[in-house]
Structures are given as structure tokens and as C-alpha cells.
Amino acid sequence: MVRTVYSPEYCLQYLEQYASQEVYVIGLILGQVTNSRENVIHLARTPEEKTDTSSEASYTSEKPEARRSLLGISETWVADHAKHVTRMLPGGMFVQGIFITSDEDIFEDPNFYSKVKSVLNYTYKSLNANQYMCGNYPDSNEKLILHMCTSTKVLTCKSIELGTGSKMSIKPVDWKFLPKPQQWQRLDCYYEFDDVYPVVVKKSGISVKHQFQQILESAHKTIESSVMFIDGELKDGSEALEQLHKKKKLKNSTKSSQDAPKSMHVSLFVPFENCLPETVEYLECDGNIHFSGVVASSVFMYPKATVSEAISAVKQDIIRSLASRFTMHCDALIDDNLLPEEKVCFNEPPRRVLVPVGSLYLCDYLFPGEAPAEALLSVKELLDLQITEADVVCDIETPADTSEFDALDRDTSSEELLATPQEASQFMYITGICFAMLVLIVSIFIHYYDGIATCLGNFFSRA
């Protein structure tokens, strides 16, 4: 059976735009794979690589005429572009492959074909190295290669199975362009974090990146164990999203002539037994990290996708968003280590904003003090799109409220409000002792209750 891929018609116009210029272009195919259908949402040209190695020279929007040939492309550069774009994708959407416009037949020329395989292999090894960014990826190693010849304008799409050595199987793909925009089912979720994590100071100080990694691992376990409710109800995982929409529309039609809401509200609940660790270890910590805030999640699914696929996408979106913010925040730090004598340190990762791409939204992140105009630059460089500042949705997450921290920082007696390492460890030990005493009291009560019940049972049986 031939693999079929659906994409909006503007993707064809996008390819023809570069093919008509008779220039070589390479870029990423962005899309979503479900059991019901595979949809491509956008094609994003990989920016021209700069020779400048400074930190400011990451990407540029220079004209693509500077490129000479596919053979000169850097695998690292394409992989880096894929990592940056993946941060902008909501859960359930991934980099599906690469597209190329060139005059050469990349499938017939062994040199070009070898280069394409090398670029794909390196890109996906780089992406798969970060499970939090690319987790829940569909169980398939087949990646897309879309090619348009600049001279004939002939479009060819094939899939290559990676990880099979030099004998990679190549299969034809039927690429279909949709004249009408694809309809999507939107799922919105607001997930709140309010957790405290211990900090142990080593001789080299505290690594912010290491602490964030521990928070991310803990959050991943918690979210994966959570149960998802859609519009306040627990749904059957095999049911299609469009069926839920139809049922709600039919239910609301008896009360109002208006259609059902375009988006579905998602709530994640963590089972109580999963909130407690299997074993409790008491250690002397030198401080703590209070991780608090709300992650706004907006996921777009093909309407025929199942509830189980939507659950996986929402959970993956929250984790991907956290991983993206932590990575960006750590990259922006001048020094990754916090000195042990620093009693209070406030870290504010970037907040999420939405940017329109076709009939759905992708996302970007703004650091404190950055204006929406900063998102326009990212969208232009990474997605090769022109949008206006008014198109950026900035109100899904509000900036962090630092008033409490500022007041604490200004207070000369603020050190008295902070527990010393000894006080923190004592509190942890006291908590453990109180819990043990509670367990002991309950055990004694149950023991004596069973004894009394046995005596009463014997008494009544004899009576």
C-alpha cells in the first residue's frame, strides 16, 4: 500500500516559488501522523548558513542564491534548524522529513542520494537524543524526501527508512495537495506546577542546568501518570475527536442554536498514589527550588484522531514546552553555576506565545522584557513566514509576578525568613518522624480494633 500524505495547497506554491528562481533550496517538512491520516502543515526553508562563528550568527534570512549545491550543506546546520523548529511545534507534530528544490535528480545521482541520507540520519539522531523534545514520536523510521526539479517543475516524494545501514529501503509516496484549508480540532490545557525540590551544593556550586533536568524528569513522570479529562469527562481512548464534537453539538442544540465551542478544554489529574514516591530518602539539603507557574498548552489534532492520540499529544506538548524553556534559559545564562553563598535567586524562563501558520498556531517564547516583535524574527528565520505583530497571541501566559520576591529581596531582614540548611534538614526529619508516629498510632488502633472485634464476635457466638 502506497503511503499517502496530505498538505495545504500553499505548500505547492511555496515550492514553485523557489523552483521558478532556479535555485537550490533545502528545508524541513512539518506535520502530524495519526492512525487515520498523515498531514503536512508547513514547509520551512533552512536558512543560509553563516561562516561567522559568533553567538549572534545563528541564522540569517539572506537570499538562497548563495547556495551552490546540496553537497555543500552542513548536516549539523540542518539538524540545528530542526531542533529550533521542533521547539515551536505543539505536541503531536514533528519534523517529518526534508524537501529540496534543485535541477539534479537526487534519487538517481548516487552522490546526492548519499548526501540526503546523511542529512536525514544526522538530523534524526540529533532530535532523538532529547526524549523530552521528541518523545511520543510515531513508531516509524520512514522519513519523507520531497523534491521539485527547478527545470521541469516535476514533484517527486519518497520515503526512506533510517537505521537500516547502507541498504535503506526507499518507497514511493503519494503527495496530495488540498484546495481547502485543513480543519483542526483544538485542545486547550492549563497545567499548574507548584513543587519544591531539594538542592545539594557541591564544591563546584549548583548547576542550574542539572537542577532543571531533575525538575524535568520529575515533571515527566508526573504528567505521564496523569489522567486526562476532556470538557470535564473521561472519554474512551478509541473514540474519534470529531465524534465528541458532534455529540456535544447535538447536546447543546437542545439548549441553544449556537454551535459547540471550537476548542475542547483539557484537564490533567494526577492519581494520588502516583504523587508519593515508592521509597522516601531523607538527606541534608542546602536549600530548595520552588518551581511554580502555569504552562498554557494548545494542541491541534486531525479531527479523526483518537482520544488516546490527543492525550499523548497534550502530555508531550507540556513536556516539550518545559524542555524548550529550560534549554533557552540555560543557554542565556552567563554562568551556569550558582554560588553556595547565594541564598535567594530568582529564575524566570521565557513565556509562551502563539504564532499563526496556515489554519493553526505554532508557538514561540519571549524572555522577560521582550516585545512581540521578537517573535516575528524567529518566525521569519526559522519558518520562512511573514506575519505582523498583531498576529502574535501574547495573552495565553502572563509574565511572572515577582512582587513577592522583590519585597523579600528589599527586606533587610529577609535572611531571617529563609531556612538555613540545618533548619531545612531538621524540618525534613521532623516531617518523617511525625509521619512515622502517625503510622504507629494507626497500626495500634487497627490492632486493638481487630482484637476487640474478635472478642465481641466470640461473645455473641457464645450467647
Rounded to 5°, angle at Cα 151 from 146 and 152: 70
- The DSSP symbol for 129 reads T
How far apart CA 88 and CA 457 sit, in angstroms, is 68
How far apart CA 97 and CA 378 sit, in angstroms, is 21
Instruction: Pick the closest to residue 71 from 27, 10, 112, 26 (CA basis).
Output: 112
Q: What pLDDT does 414 receive? A: 42
Rg of the chain over CA atoms, in angstroms? Answer: 27
* Whole-number Cα distances in Å, 140 to 102, 174, 229, 455: 28, 17, 28, 65
- Mean pLDDT per block of 10 residues along the chain (463 residues) reads 92 93 90 94 91 46 52 92 96 95 89 91 90 76 92 92 71 94 94 86 74 90 93 93 81 52 86 62 73 93 95 96 92 70 74 94 94 93 95 88 63 40 29 35 48 48 44
- The DSSP symbol for 390 reads G
Do residues 356 and 387 lie in contact, with contact meaning Cβ atoms separated by under 8 Å? yes
3-class DSSP assignment, residue 304: coil
Instruction: Pick the closest to residue 199 from 283, 277, 275, 280 (CA basis).
Output: 283
3-class DSSP assignment, residue 31: strand
Do residues 39 and 182 lie in contact, with contact meaning Cβ atoms separated by under 8 Å? yes
Cα 300–chain centre separation: 13
Q: What is the pTM of this model?
A: 0.81
Do residues 83 and 123 lie in contact, with contact meaning Cβ atoms separated by under 8 Å? no
Q: What pLDDT does 342 receive? A: 56
How many CB atoms are closer than 10 A to CB 395?
Answer: 8
How far apart CA 201 and CA 424 sit, in angstroms, is 14
Q: Which residue has the cell 526507499?
A: 170
Domains of the chain: 3-178 (3.40.140.10), 185-378 (no CATH)
Q: Where are the beta strands (DSSP E) in 234-286?
A: 263-269
How far apart CA 231 and CA 105 sit, in angstroms, is 51
How far apart CA 432 and CA 418 sit, in angstroms, is 21
* Whole-number Cα distances in Å, 35 to 32, 250, 303, 439: 10, 26, 12, 49
Q: What pLDDT does 426 receive? A: 25
How far apart CA 21 and CA 408 sit, in angstroms, is 60
Question: How would you classify the pairing of strands 155-161 and 25-33?
Answer: unpaired
Question: How would you classify the pairing of strands 155-161 and 170-178?
Answer: antiparallel
3-class DSSP assignment, residue 400: coil
Please give the grid coordinates belonging to residue 264.
Answer: 475542547
Please give the grid coordinates belonging to residue 428.
Answer: 525534613
Torsion of the alpha carbons at 249, 253, 257 and 261, rounded to the nearest 10: -30
Instruction: Pick the closest to residue 101 from 85, 86, 117, 112 (CA basis).
Output: 112
Give 433's contacts (C-beta < 8 A, 6+ positions apart): none
